Chains A and B, each alone.
Chain A
Amino acid sequence: MNWNLFLTELVVGITQGSVYALIALGYSMVYGILKLLNFAHGDVYMVGAFIGFGLITVFGGATALSINIAVLLVLMFAAAMLGGGVLGVMIERFAYRRLRNAPRIAPLITALGVAFFLENSAQLVLGAQFQSYNTYAWNNGSLWSNGFTLPSGVHVALAQIIVVVGALLLVVLLSFFVRSTQTGKAMRATSFDREAASMMGIDVDRVIVVTFFIGSALAGAAGVFNCLVYQQLWPYMGFQAGLFAFTAAVVGGIGNLPGAVLGGLVIGLASSFATGYVSSTFQQAIVFAILIVVMLVRPSGLLGRAAVQKV
């Protein structure tokens, strides 16, 4: 067995999986509260990536940075999360709020329209071509040469460590927020039963706005994380990422936050092993197969509880 290939794909899979996990969390949170499949979520991720790219460009581009890299990274994350969060709140306010009690198909089609609008607007404003963070050029590639090397010779780059640790940090913060704060409790109550929550004096509108803000902020951060490692970004990047992340949310059990993280890792590993051992063309097919199998065998997901439909 070729351990080198295995370990390489393992490292790539965990990195990629952390990104999917962050996107899947937002999907799962929104679904848990509104029972809405927010197709536009993947495009929030795209916008986050472009906000990071904008900051790199503003500070002189990757080859001639005018400020410290650490400061820039912090700025990029703050801006991408804030921008993503605000975008998510705007989408909720202007596209979904009026449809909260509409037939289920209406918000889904609206979400499709929002995704389509964001992608094409991005193409109009930013151009259709691929851009690159070009972080290889930062500080003579220190993000890439630094890090550590596994005994078998597989190199784990600093950028990958930043992504995994950063994602982990955000997940821990989120779970603290959901478990221990007043708003987090309100969120859980709302996702359990929206009507009952509003009768208990919970401001459901506010909870939904907070949910969209946090979920979309995580997606914005995921956009920057992704491009730190994989460099490339373009207006349609959100579509496939959204699809994979949604699969991750379903695999873990939709509405279940630890499940979303687990699902993200499963999908990340599956797609990276598919690329390494079969071919990158089959990546999509394998993730699709996982989705079908999970839905046939365990529709409630790995960690989800089977939902009982109430009448």
Chain B
Amino acid sequence: MDGGQEIPKIPARPDEGEPGIRVGVDDWVATHEQRRERLSGPLGRLQREIERTPRPAFYVAFGVAAALIPALTSNGYVIRVGFDTLLYMLLCLGLNVVVGYAGLLDLGYIAFFGFGAYLYAMLASPHFGLHWDTLFVVPIAVVATGLLGLLVALPSRRLVGDYLAIVTLFFGQLFYTVFQNGSRISLLGIGHHSWDVTGGPNGIVDIDNWDLAGLKIGSVQGYYYVALVVFLLSLTAVFLIDTSRTGRAWKSLREDPLAAELMGIPVNRLKLVAFAISAAIGGLAGTLFAGLNTAVFAADFYTPTLIIVYAMLILGGAGSLGGVIIGAIVVNVSLEALRTPGHATWIFYTLIVASIVAKVRPWRWVVIVLGGTIGLGYVLIAIANQWFPRWTEGEPTIGGWLGEWLNQWVLHPSNPQMIGNVAFVILVFAVLGLMLLKPILLWIAMIPTLYLTAFVWQNRLVVEPSITRLILVGVILIVLMNVRPQGLLGAARVEIV
């Protein structure tokens, strides 16, 4: 029957018998881990250990650590900063869904935050005389904001990312204008009656506190815990979505929308879902914000806040949940520290010295650059004392021993504003110029530039903390995108062409 002919045995598939490799995983994907860059030595071992630990363990650790903070300190300011940080984390988490996972640039995100806050304010304040239950208002606000997100994404779902960016940016602007002028809404000139919907520039005040089925949240501590619980719940939800089919589909959409579509992934629907979820989380953050502050103003939901949230997301690493936590902590705590000149100066000089120690090689040049800068300072002070006394007559801007020591070698002219402004512009050009130089020449040119940096910092930046922090946020975005686009915790993406 079988004619003596032997059917050749089909060779074993290369992946059979190797438990690590699954069907549908090709060589490139399977060896992905080996190709990742790792540090060598003990640091590398630590890195591998960290990578092996399941991610939820870190989130639990974070939750426990964060829950302990109010127990360790009774300082209201610290807890308030903690609450703000948690709020920013929540905002970042929402933005991470749309920017980090789906790869869509949503520049109107802050309007969703504002919409949630205003909705809570309208339904639970004397403004309309409504005092609905928190457990009722918060879900309404979250769902309504999610639907708004859907509505904004609808017209641009077929368009490439850039159009989406401009539509959402415009939407954010429009939101601000409407809520800033929403105190006299009349139906396009029909009739003479006008309604005060948003309170206009006066905002909505006297908003009710959160009331969770009889448990009134009245203190900053209370809000801190509520925010922590809300954040951890949202984090869990996003983590579950991230590891689900939807999460993987989003990432394929982010990497290559066209290829994703060809693979049968419903690209348009996924974009809308990402938008809706991100908007809903933004709205949730808004209700918390309105509850604690008991007042909302349109100016709270404007571009600066948006850019700060972006800076956090980018610094931490878009697409990484741990990055969301780290980014929000680093940026918010630094921005908060900038308000106090003493703290800000410590951070500023530590960062500068650290980056010089990290980047300048060989080592002797570290000493030459730092010593040269300080030496230049003493020489300039001596010259100024001899011939140009007005350059040392200014008021020192910071105290403490650090301030006193800095005053010995940083000039303080009698009109710091004017000279500081000019020096700031020169500094920007000087730093850009440095980028064109090669080592040796670069190290030498760094000496006067560093001195100029210290001069501008002492005389101008430290006295204008509210603008300085925004300038620094802008610089963070530009530098990170150019130097380390994956942020602190994000994984570097391999571009496949």
Mark contacts of B464-487 with chain A using CB atoms, 8 A cut-off: 1 yes-contact digit, 0 otherwise. 100110110111111001100100
Contacts A105-B103, A108-B162; A309 near B467 (Cβ below 8 A): no
In the complex, residue of chain A having the shortest beta-carbon distance to the beta carbon of B425: A125
Contacts of B173 in A (CB 8 A): 239-240, 243, 284
Q: List 11 A-B contacts (CB under 8 A).
A: A95-B478, A95-B482, A102-B485, A103-B103, A109-B314, A112-B107, A116-B473, A116-B474, A281-B177, A284-B177, A285-B178
Mark contacts of B28-47 with chain A using CB atoms, 8 A cut-off: 1 yes-contact digit, 0 otherwise. 00000000000000000000
Contacts of B424 in A (CB 8 A): 121, 124-125
Mark contacts of A74-109 with chain B using CB atoms, 8 A cut-off: 1 yes-contact digit, 0 otherwise. 000000000000000010001100110111111111
Contacts of A108 in B (CB 8 A): 105, 161-162, 165
Q: Are B166 and A37 in contact (CB under 8 A)?
A: yes
- Within 8 Å by CB of B481, from A35, A109, A240, A285, lies A109
- The B379-416 residues at the A interface (CB cut-off 8 A) are none
The answer to whether A291 has its CB under 8 Å from any CB of chain B is yes
Taking the nearest CB of chain B, how far is it from the CB of A47, in angstroms? 11
The range of chain A's interface size is 35 or more
Which label, helix, strand, loop or mixed, suits the secondary structure of the A interface?
Answer: helix
Contacts of A250 in B (CB 8 A): 163, 166
The interface stretch among A59-67, A143-151, A292-300 is A292-300
Contacts of A112 in B (CB 8 A): 107, 307, 310, 477
Taking the nearest CB of chain A, how far is it from the CB of B98, in angstroms? 11
Contacts of B425 in A (CB 8 A): 125
Taking the nearest CB of chain B, how far is it from the CB of A198, in angstroms? 16
- The B207-234 residues at the A interface (CB cut-off 8 A) are none
Q: Are B474 and A278 in contact (CB under 8 A)?
A: no
Taking the nearest CB of chain B, how far is it from the CB of A104, in angstroms? 6
Taking the nearest CB of chain A, how far is it from the CB of B130, in angstroms? 26
- Within 8 Å by CB of B471, from A94, A101, A110, A124, lies A124
The answer to whether B263 has its CB under 8 Å from any CB of chain A is no
The answer to whether A49 has its CB under 8 Å from any CB of chain B is no
**Count of inter-chain pairs, beta carbons less than 8 A:** 130
- The A237-294 residues at the B interface (CB cut-off 8 A) are 239-240, 243, 246-247, 250, 278, 281, 284-285, 287-288, 291-292
Taking the nearest CB of chain A, how far is it from the CB of B335, in angstroms? 13
Taking the nearest CB of chain A, how far is it from the CB of B252, in angstroms? 14
Residues of A participating in the B interface, judged by any CB pair closer than 8 Å: 31, 35, 37, 90, 94-95, 98-99, 101-110, 112-118, 120-121, 123-125, 239-240, 243, 246-247, 250, 278, 281, 284-285, 287-288, 291-292, 295-296, 299, 309, 311
- The B85-125 residues at the A interface (CB cut-off 8 A) are 99, 103, 105, 107
Contacts A116-B477, A117-B475, A284-B177; A103 near B156 (Cβ below 8 A): no
The answer to whether B435 has its CB under 8 Å from any CB of chain A is yes
CA distance A109 to B473 in the complex (A): 12
Contacts of A104 in B (CB 8 A): 161-162
Q: Are B167 and A117 in contact (CB under 8 A)?
A: no
Q: Are B105 and A292 in contact (CB under 8 A)?
A: no
CA distance A270 to B161 in the complex (A): 26
Contacts A121-B428, A250-B163; A113 near B471 (Cβ below 8 A): no
Which label, helix, strand, loop or mixed, suits the secondary structure of the B interface?
Answer: helix
- Within 8 Å by CB of A288, from B170, B258, B473, lies B170
Q: How many residues of chain B are within 8 Å of chain A by beta carbon?
A: 53
The answer to whether B181 has its CB under 8 Å from any CB of chain A is yes
CA distance A106 to B476 in the complex (A): 13
Taking the nearest CB of chain B, how far is it from the CB of A38, in angstroms? 11
Most interface-central of A95, A104, A123, A125 (chain B CB within 10 A): A125
In the complex, residue of chain B having the shortest beta-carbon distance to the beta carbon of A110: B481
The answer to whether B17 has its CB under 8 Å from any CB of chain A is no
Q: Are B473 and A285 in contact (CB under 8 A)?
A: no
Taking the nearest CB of chain A, how far is it from the CB of B183, in angstroms? 11
Contacts A113-B476, A120-B470, A121-B471; A106 near B481 (Cβ below 8 A): yes
Q: Are A278 and B189 in contact (CB under 8 A)?
A: yes
- Within 8 Å by CB of B495, from A98, A103, A109, A299, lies A103
CA distance A180 to B84 in the complex (A): 58
- The B143-178 residues at the A interface (CB cut-off 8 A) are 155-156, 158-159, 161-163, 165-167, 169-171, 173-174, 177-178
The answer to whether B271 has its CB under 8 Å from any CB of chain A is no
CA distance A287 to B188 in the complex (A): 16
The answer to whether B61 has its CB under 8 Å from any CB of chain A is no
CA distance A112 to B307 in the complex (A): 8
CA distance A35 to B162 in the complex (A): 9
Q: Are B165 and A37 in contact (CB under 8 A)?
A: yes
CA distance A113 to B482 in the complex (A): 11
Contacts of B428 in A (CB 8 A): 121
Q: Are B170 and A291 in contact (CB under 8 A)?
A: yes
> Can you add 17 more A-B contacts, CB < 8 Å, to A105-B99, A121-B471, A240-B173?
A37-B166, A94-B432, A102-B485, A103-B103, A103-B495, A110-B478, A110-B482, A113-B476, A113-B477, A116-B474, A120-B471, A124-B471, A239-B303, A247-B166, A285-B177, A292-B167, A295-B155
Q: Are A117 and B159 in contact (CB under 8 A)?
A: no
In the complex, residue of chain A having the shortest beta-carbon distance to the beta carbon of B469: A120
Taking the nearest CB of chain A, how far is it from the CB of B104, in angstroms? 9
CA distance A165 to B173 in the complex (A): 32
Q: Are A98 and B482 in contact (CB under 8 A)?
A: yes
Contacts of A246 in B (CB 8 A): 166
CA distance A114 to B428 in the complex (A): 13
Contacts of B481 in A (CB 8 A): 99, 102, 106-107, 109-110, 113
CA distance A106 to B181 in the complex (A): 34
CA distance A292 to B171 in the complex (A): 10
- Within 8 Å by CB of B307, from A101, A116, A125, lies A116
Contacts A105-B161, A278-B188; A291 near B493 (Cβ below 8 A): no
Contacts A106-B485, A125-B421; A288 near B495 (Cβ below 8 A): no
CA distance A123 to B470 in the complex (A): 10
Taking the nearest CB of chain A, how far is it from the CB of B363, in angstroms? 28
Taking the nearest CB of chain A, how far is it from the CB of B156, in angstroms? 7
Taking the nearest CB of chain A, how far is it from the CB of B432, in angstroms? 5
CA distance A287 to B170 in the complex (A): 9
Q: Are A284 and B174 in contact (CB under 8 A)?
A: yes
CA distance A243 to B165 in the complex (A): 11
Contacts of B105 in A (CB 8 A): 105, 108-109
Most interface-central of A105, A110, A114, A288 (chain B CB within 10 A): A105
CA distance A102 to B497 in the complex (A): 12
Contacts of A239 in B (CB 8 A): 173, 303
